[in-house]
Amino acid sequence: MSNTHIFNIKIQERSLDSHALPPEDPLRELSDFEMRIRHFCYEYNYQTSIQVGDYVTQVFFDPDICILLENNLPQKVADLSQGQTIKISFCESCCLIIELVPQDSKISCSLQEFGYSTKKLHFDLDKNQVLKTLVNFINQVMEKAVISGFITFMEKEQYMIPVLIKAMR
Amino acid sequence: MTKTNKPQGQWLDAWDWVKAEKAAPKYPGIYIIDFKRPVGRVYYLDGTTLENVTRVVIQRNQDGTLNFGYPVSDSFVLSAN
């Protein structure tokens, strides 16, 4: 870990400011599960800090994390564990693309801001630490959704199957 | 509108979102589309508002669906290149 930087995602305080309207799906494009996740992120809108090395940014469950969950974050994490490059983008609370490129026991991480800033940064990360952080984060979010009654424990486990399979290997 | 640390774009007409989807390339990526007519406004963090912005930023996912789309000012860029 000595030559690598820290990667951290921390769920912080719940935001009680309501700036958005409740989620709607008039065209019924989303599944019942997806809608309940949207409602959960809207009702329990936690601020979340993302730290890569000395770079820190703040996002929110609604809509940033909700979008990640809808884009199948567990499968992305599983892909990363299998050596595939993945991109995680935040385009609402901030404009940031995080590209994670696995290289043996490390991950080459590129941060690219866009929009009103075009900062580019690069960090070497520890692969196991990154994977553990991502899995723990998904688990924490889904656990909150279970505790608050938006999804069942079985739904959480089913959603997390890609990373659970990875953990069993 | 989300609580945020960057300027926030607001559509004037929600149907322009549909038009932006149709105009955006069908490949995954982040794109800027200029409608050449006012489609929204941008709220800045200092409380000021820029009216009549003509550009929007939009992201298409791998599966063809859209992640987001909102009006942006002329200073909004996708990369330094």
Across the interface, whether the CB atoms of B80 and A20 are under 8 A apart is answered no
Residue B39 lies in a domain: yes
Residue B79 lies in a domain: no
Write the pLDDT tens digit of every residue in A100-157.
999 999 999 999 999 988 999 999 999 999 999 999 999 999 999 999 999 999 999 9
Number of domains forming the structure of chain B = 1
pLDDT at B39: 97
ipTM confidence score: 0.76
pLDDT at A25: 87
CA nearest neighbour of A61 among A120, A14, A118, A23: A14
Contact (Cβ atoms closer than 8 angstroms) between residue A102 and residue A110: no
Would you call the peptide bond into B28 cis, given omega within 30 degrees of 0 as the criterion?
no
Across the interface, whether the CB atoms of A19 and B76 are under 8 A apart is answered no
* pLDDT tops 90 at residue B68: no
Alpha-helical regions (H) of chain A = 32-43, 66-70, 73-81, 127-147, 153-159, 161-168
A5: closest CA of chain B, how far (Å): 25
Nearest to A63 among B2, B59, B79 (CB): B2
- Structural domain boundaries enclosing B39: 8-72
Contact (Cβ atoms closer than 8 angstroms) between residue A44 and residue A16: no
* Rounded Cα gap, residues A123 and A77, in angstroms: 18
CATH number attached to the domain at A7-168: 3.30.2450
